[in-house]
Amino acid sequence: MTSQLPTYAEWRAQQDASLREAREAGEAVCHPLEGQPDEAWQRHYEGFVALMRAFDTPSTTR
């Protein structure tokens, strides 16, 4: 459900933590938004939320 979606700050922290953990484990990883302004990250997050909401339909079965 969308009520369980992370806030932008939580989502961004998760993204940064995932990258950091992978690098600490020796993996060669990158994110397409690294080095981009915060506005680009915000747009990406807003798209993520819109996509999640598009698939969040109330259950008709009980």
In a domain, 62, yes or no: no
- Structural domain of 49: 2-54
Joined together, the tokens standing for residue 38 give 């915060």
Token output for 2:
């969308």
Q: Is 59 a domain residue?
A: no
Residue 61 counted as domain residue: no
* C-alpha distances out from residue 11 to 16, 20, 62, Å: 9, 14, 31
Is residue 35 domain-resident?
yes
Helix (H, G, I), strand (E, B) or coil at 60: coil
Per-residue pLDDT of the chain (62 residues; tens, 9 = 90+): 456 899 999 999 999 999 999 999 999 998 899 999 999 999 999 999 999 999 886 655 44
* 11 is a domain residue: yes
Residue 58 pLDDT: 65
Instruction: Say how many domains are in the chain.
Output: 1
Q: What is the pLDDT of residue 56?
A: 82
